[in-house]
Structure 1
Amino acid sequence: MEELKRRNTQLEEQLKDFKEKEKVLRTELERTRMRLHFIEEAEERLCCQMGELEAEAVAQARVYQQHVKELSDQLTAALGLLRSTNSVIS
Protein backbone atom coordinates (compact mmCIF):
# COMPACT_ATOMS: atom_id res chain seq x y z
CA MET A 1 0.00 0.00 0.00
CA GLU A 2 2.81 2.40 0.89
CA GLU A 3 4.43 1.60 -2.44
CA LEU A 4 1.22 2.56 -4.25
CA LYS A 5 0.97 5.83 -2.35
CA ARG A 6 4.59 6.62 -3.11
CA ARG A 7 4.09 5.78 -6.77
CA ASN A 8 0.91 7.86 -6.89
CA THR A 9 2.76 10.83 -5.39
CA GLN A 10 5.51 10.44 -7.98
CA LEU A 11 2.97 10.32 -10.79
CA GLU A 12 1.20 13.40 -9.45
CA GLU A 13 4.50 15.27 -9.33
CA GLN A 14 5.31 14.20 -12.86
CA LEU A 15 1.87 15.30 -14.01
CA LYS A 16 2.36 18.68 -12.34
CA ASP A 17 5.78 19.06 -14.02
CA PHE A 18 4.34 18.11 -17.40
CA LYS A 19 1.50 20.60 -17.01
CA GLU A 20 3.97 23.36 -16.14
CA LYS A 21 6.13 22.49 -19.12
CA GLU A 22 3.05 22.37 -21.35
CA LYS A 23 2.03 25.84 -20.16
CA VAL A 24 5.51 27.19 -20.89
CA LEU A 25 5.50 25.56 -24.34
CA ARG A 26 2.04 26.93 -25.14
CA THR A 27 3.17 30.42 -24.18
CA GLU A 28 6.27 30.04 -26.32
CA LEU A 29 4.15 28.71 -29.20
CA GLU A 30 1.85 31.73 -28.97
CA ARG A 31 4.83 34.10 -29.00
CA THR A 32 6.20 32.28 -32.02
CA ARG A 33 2.85 32.55 -33.80
CA MET A 34 2.76 36.29 -33.12
CA ARG A 35 6.31 36.74 -34.41
CA LEU A 36 5.37 34.77 -37.52
CA HIS A 37 2.33 36.99 -38.04
CA PHE A 38 4.48 40.14 -37.76
CA ILE A 39 7.07 38.65 -40.11
CA GLU A 40 4.39 37.80 -42.67
CA GLU A 41 3.05 41.37 -42.50
CA ALA A 42 6.55 42.76 -42.91
CA GLU A 43 7.13 40.47 -45.89
CA GLU A 44 3.93 41.76 -47.51
CA ARG A 45 5.00 45.36 -46.97
CA LEU A 46 8.43 44.64 -48.43
CA CYS A 47 6.89 42.97 -51.48
CA CYS A 48 4.68 46.01 -52.05
CA GLN A 49 7.63 48.35 -51.68
CA MET A 50 9.72 46.24 -54.05
CA GLY A 51 6.90 46.31 -56.60
CA GLU A 52 6.65 50.09 -56.32
CA LEU A 53 10.43 50.46 -56.65
CA GLU A 54 10.48 48.16 -59.66
CA ALA A 55 7.72 50.19 -61.35
CA GLU A 56 9.61 53.40 -60.59
CA ALA A 57 12.85 51.92 -61.96
CA VAL A 58 11.10 50.88 -65.18
CA ALA A 59 9.63 54.37 -65.57
CA GLN A 60 13.03 55.98 -64.99
CA ALA A 61 14.65 53.59 -67.46
CA ARG A 62 12.09 54.56 -70.09
CA VAL A 63 12.71 58.27 -69.49
CA TYR A 64 16.46 57.72 -69.67
CA GLN A 65 16.13 55.64 -72.84
CA GLN A 66 13.99 58.36 -74.44
CA HIS A 67 16.56 60.99 -73.43
CA VAL A 68 19.38 58.93 -74.95
CA LYS A 69 17.36 58.52 -78.16
CA GLU A 70 16.74 62.29 -78.35
CA LEU A 71 20.46 62.98 -77.84
CA SER A 72 21.33 60.38 -80.46
CA ASP A 73 18.89 61.97 -82.92
CA GLN A 74 20.40 65.41 -82.22
CA LEU A 75 23.88 64.04 -82.76
CA THR A 76 22.84 62.40 -86.02
CA ALA A 77 21.28 65.67 -87.19
CA ALA A 78 24.37 67.65 -86.17
CA LEU A 79 26.66 65.21 -87.97
CA GLY A 80 24.45 65.40 -91.06
CA LEU A 81 24.56 69.19 -90.95
CA LEU A 82 28.33 69.11 -90.46
CA ARG A 83 28.76 66.75 -93.44
CA SER A 84 26.56 68.84 -95.64
CA THR A 85 28.47 71.97 -94.61
CA ASN A 86 31.78 70.24 -95.36
CA SER A 87 30.43 69.16 -98.77
CA VAL A 88 29.48 72.72 -99.62
CA ILE A 89 32.89 74.08 -98.51
CA SER A 90 34.87 71.44 -100.42
Structure 2
Amino acid sequence: MAPTMAVAAVKRKEEEELRKRNQELEKELRESREREEQTKKELRKIWQRLRVAEEAEERLCSQLGELEAESVNQARAYNAHIVSLLDQLSKASSSVVVNNHRSSAPISIL
Protein backbone atom coordinates (compact mmCIF):
# COMPACT_ATOMS: atom_id res chain seq x y z
CA MET A 1 0.00 0.00 0.00
CA ALA A 2 2.91 2.33 0.36
CA PRO A 3 3.25 2.81 -3.40
CA THR A 4 -0.44 3.73 -3.65
CA MET A 5 -0.03 6.31 -0.91
CA ALA A 6 2.99 7.74 -2.68
CA VAL A 7 1.01 7.96 -5.93
CA ALA A 8 -1.89 9.60 -4.07
CA ALA A 9 0.50 12.10 -2.47
CA VAL A 10 1.98 12.95 -5.87
CA LYS A 11 -1.52 13.38 -7.30
CA ARG A 12 -2.50 15.66 -4.40
CA LYS A 13 0.65 17.68 -4.92
CA GLU A 14 -0.06 17.97 -8.67
CA GLU A 15 -3.67 18.92 -7.96
CA GLU A 16 -2.53 21.58 -5.48
CA GLU A 17 -0.07 22.96 -8.03
CA LEU A 18 -2.79 22.96 -10.68
CA ARG A 19 -5.17 24.78 -8.27
CA LYS A 20 -2.49 27.37 -7.53
CA ARG A 21 -1.74 27.79 -11.21
CA ASN A 22 -5.46 28.05 -11.96
CA GLN A 23 -5.82 30.73 -9.25
CA GLU A 24 -2.87 32.63 -10.70
CA LEU A 25 -4.37 32.45 -14.18
CA GLU A 26 -7.77 33.61 -12.89
CA LYS A 27 -6.07 36.51 -11.08
CA GLU A 28 -4.17 37.45 -14.25
CA LEU A 29 -7.42 37.25 -16.22
CA ARG A 30 -9.20 39.57 -13.74
CA GLU A 31 -6.30 42.02 -13.87
CA SER A 32 -6.26 41.87 -17.66
CA ARG A 33 -9.99 42.57 -17.80
CA GLU A 34 -9.57 45.47 -15.39
CA ARG A 35 -6.78 46.91 -17.57
CA GLU A 36 -8.95 46.42 -20.63
CA GLU A 37 -11.86 48.23 -18.98
CA GLN A 38 -9.56 51.05 -17.86
CA THR A 39 -8.19 51.32 -21.40
CA LYS A 40 -11.72 51.47 -22.79
CA LYS A 41 -12.58 54.29 -20.36
CA GLU A 42 -9.47 56.21 -21.38
CA LEU A 43 -10.28 55.63 -25.04
CA ARG A 44 -13.80 56.99 -24.52
CA LYS A 45 -12.37 60.09 -22.82
CA ILE A 46 -9.90 60.61 -25.65
CA TRP A 47 -12.67 60.11 -28.22
CA GLN A 48 -14.80 62.70 -26.44
CA ARG A 49 -11.91 65.19 -26.36
CA LEU A 50 -11.33 64.54 -30.05
CA ARG A 51 -14.99 65.28 -30.82
CA VAL A 52 -14.79 68.52 -28.83
CA ALA A 53 -11.59 69.49 -30.64
CA GLU A 54 -13.13 68.74 -34.04
CA GLU A 55 -16.21 70.81 -33.22
CA ALA A 56 -13.99 73.67 -32.05
CA GLU A 57 -11.98 73.40 -35.25
CA GLU A 58 -15.17 73.61 -37.31
CA ARG A 59 -16.31 76.69 -35.39
CA LEU A 60 -12.91 78.33 -35.81
CA CYS A 61 -12.88 77.60 -39.54
CA SER A 62 -16.34 79.10 -39.87
CA GLN A 63 -15.31 82.20 -37.91
CA LEU A 64 -12.14 82.49 -39.97
CA GLY A 65 -14.18 82.36 -43.17
CA GLU A 66 -16.45 85.10 -41.87
CA LEU A 67 -13.46 87.24 -40.89
CA GLU A 68 -11.86 86.71 -44.29
CA ALA A 69 -15.06 87.79 -46.03
CA GLU A 70 -15.30 90.84 -43.77
CA SER A 71 -11.67 91.76 -44.43
CA VAL A 72 -12.21 91.48 -48.19
CA ASN A 73 -15.22 93.79 -47.91
CA GLN A 74 -13.24 96.26 -45.82
CA ALA A 75 -10.34 96.15 -48.28
CA ARG A 76 -12.73 96.83 -51.17
CA ALA A 77 -14.33 99.73 -49.30
CA TYR A 78 -10.89 101.11 -48.41
CA ASN A 79 -9.77 100.78 -52.03
CA ALA A 80 -12.92 102.54 -53.24
CA HIS A 81 -12.27 105.33 -50.72
CA ILE A 82 -8.68 105.70 -51.95
CA VAL A 83 -9.86 105.82 -55.58
CA SER A 84 -12.39 108.49 -54.60
CA LEU A 85 -9.72 110.52 -52.79
CA LEU A 86 -7.37 110.19 -55.77
CA ASP A 87 -10.16 111.42 -58.04
CA GLN A 88 -10.80 114.39 -55.75
CA LEU A 89 -7.09 115.13 -55.59
CA SER A 90 -6.82 114.96 -59.38
CA LYS A 91 -9.75 117.36 -59.79
CA ALA A 92 -8.34 119.71 -57.17
CA SER A 93 -4.93 119.58 -58.83
CA SER A 94 -6.48 120.32 -62.23
CA SER A 95 -8.40 123.21 -60.72
CA VAL A 96 -5.22 124.63 -59.19
CA VAL A 97 -3.38 124.34 -62.51
CA VAL A 98 -6.24 126.09 -64.34
CA ASN A 99 -6.40 128.84 -61.72
CA ASN A 100 -2.63 129.32 -61.84
CA HIS A 101 -2.74 129.43 -65.60
CA ARG A 102 -5.51 132.07 -65.56
CA SER A 103 -3.78 134.22 -62.98
CA SER A 104 -0.49 134.12 -64.84
CA ALA A 105 -2.05 135.12 -68.19
CA PRO A 106 -1.07 138.59 -69.35
CA ILE A 107 -3.72 141.24 -68.93
CA SER A 108 -4.37 143.10 -72.12
CA ILE A 109 -5.51 146.65 -71.98
CA LEU A 110 -7.32 148.01 -74.93
Using the size of structure 2 for normalisation, the TM-score is: 0.80
Give the corresponding residue for 1:65: 79
The one-letter amino acid of 1:17's match is E
Q: Which 4+ stretches in 1 moved above 4 angstroms?
A: none
Tell me the C-alpha RMSD between the 2 structures: 0.6
For the residues of structure 2 that align with 1:3 and 1:14, how far apart are their CA atoms?
Answer: 16
Give the corresponding residue for 1:8: 22
1:27-68 deviation digits (Å, cap 9, x = unpaired): 110111111111111110110000000000000000000000
For the residues of structure 2 that align with 1:84 and 1:14, how far apart are their CA atoms?
Answer: 102
Identify the match of residue 41 of structure 1 among 38, 46, 55.
Answer: 55
Give the corresponding residue for 1:89: 103
Q: List alignment gaps of at least 5 residues for structure 1.
A: none
> What is the CA distance between 1:11 and its match in structure 2?
0.6
Matches within 5 A, 1:8-27: 8-27=22-41
Using the size of structure 1 for normalisation, the TM-score is: 0.97
Give the corresponding residue for 2:43: 29
Structure showing greater radius of gyration is 2
User: Comparing both structures, which one devotes a greater share of its residues to helix?
Assistant: 1
> What is the CA distance between 1:3 and its match in structure 2?
1.4
Equivalent residues, number: 90
Give the corresponding residue for 2:91: 77
1:2-27 deviation digits (Å, cap 9, x = unpaired): 21111111111000000011111101
For the residues of structure 2 that align with 1:31 and 1:40, how far apart are their CA atoms?
Answer: 14
